[in-house]
Structure formats: structure tokens, C-alpha cells
């Protein structure tokens, strides 16, 4: 078992210790006014990080023209990132945590409610194998 206690299955009923948790959350039917506000999105991600007991290092947010916001809160445990599509009332959120004290599940629940999402889909990946060698990913044959 990894030091952080996270040992997800790899899809083959095999348990492996991972160094981190990467939660991918797609939010649908969100309030488009929230999705258009860079400052509100920034404050919600910072609040979510604090709620989860993450250690904030820095943050950066960018507003696209004509619409959409991308941002990341860098935390000592890794990061919380977002991209919004207000014209489609949706947002994609990445929550990556390799700490032992942070509670990433709280971020997911908080943001679903904060963005007033009518629907959501989330997936969780184990990142970085803590012991042993990683299995290589098949390479695409590109010739240069």
C-alpha cells in the first residue's frame, strides 16, 4: 500500500500502490453566469482547496475571448485545474493530490454545488506507481 493509503484497482482487478489520485470531473448544466466570472471561479477554487485542507502555493486564471476561463491553483499536494465553456454550461475540473492530509473528494462535492451543476461525471485515476517499475505504454510509431 502506498504511503498515502491509496491503492486503486487498475481495471484488471489488480491492486497497486499509487503515489497520487487524479480525479477528473465534468460538470454539466452549470450556471453560465458563474462560468463567465474569472474572479468568482478563482475564489471558488481557492475556497475548495482550503476546505480540503490543501496547501496553496500559487494560482493563475485566464479569461478567453469571447468566453471561457482556464485556471489552476497550484497546491503543495499537486493542483486543482478548471476550464469552462459557459456557452455550453459546462466545466472540466482536474483534482490531483499526492498528499496524505488533503481531502480531494470534498473539492468535487463543493464544486458540483458551487457551479450548480445539474449533472456530473467523474473518473479517478491512480498516478505514479509507488513500488516496482511502471508498465510501459505502447508507443505510437512515428518516423522522423
Which residues, other chains included, contact 68 with Cβ-Cβ below 8 Å and sequence gap of 6+?
83, 84, 85, 86, 87
Report the Cα–Cα distance between both ends of the chain, in Å, rounded. Answer: 42
98 part of the active site: yes
Cβ atoms of 12 and 20 within 8 Å: the answer is no
Of 30, 97, 98, 120, which is the active-site residue? 98
Does 70 qualify as catalytic in the annotation?
no
Instruction: Please tell me which residue in 78, 90, 97, 120 is annotated as part of the active site.
Output: 78
DSSP run (H or E) holding 20 = strand 18-28
Among candidate residues 67, 79, 83, 88, the one labeled active-site is 83
Contact yes or no for 122/26 (Cβ under 8 A):
yes
Q: Give the strand pairing for 119-129 and 90-97.
A: unpaired
Query: Which residue numbers are catalytic?
Result: 78, 83, 98
Amino acid at each position: 500500500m502506498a504511503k498515502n493509503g491509496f491503492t486503486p484497482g487498475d481495471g484488471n482487478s489488480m491492486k497497486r500502490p499509487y503515489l497520487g489520485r487524479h480525479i477528473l470531473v465534468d460538470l454539466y448544466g452549470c450556471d453560465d453566469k458563474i462560468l463567465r466570472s474569472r474572479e468568482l471561479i478563482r475564489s471558488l477554487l481557492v475556497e475548495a482547496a482550503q476546505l480540503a485542507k490543501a496547501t496553496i502555493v500559487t494560482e493563475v486564471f485566464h479569461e478567453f475571448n469571447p468566453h471561457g476561463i482556464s485556471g489552476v491553483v497550484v497546491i503543495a499536494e499537486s493542483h486543482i485545474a478548471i476550464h469552462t465553456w459557459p456557452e455550453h454550461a459546462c466545466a472540466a475540473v482536474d483534482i490531483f493530490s499526492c498528499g496524505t492530509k488533503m481531502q480531494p473528494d470534498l473539492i468535487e462535492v463543493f464544486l458540483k454545488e458551487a457551479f450548480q451543476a445539474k449533472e456530473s461525471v467523474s473518473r479517478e485515476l491512480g498516478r505514479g506507481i509507488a513500488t516496482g517499475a511502471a508498465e510501459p505504454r505502447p508507443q505510437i510509431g512515428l518516423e522522423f
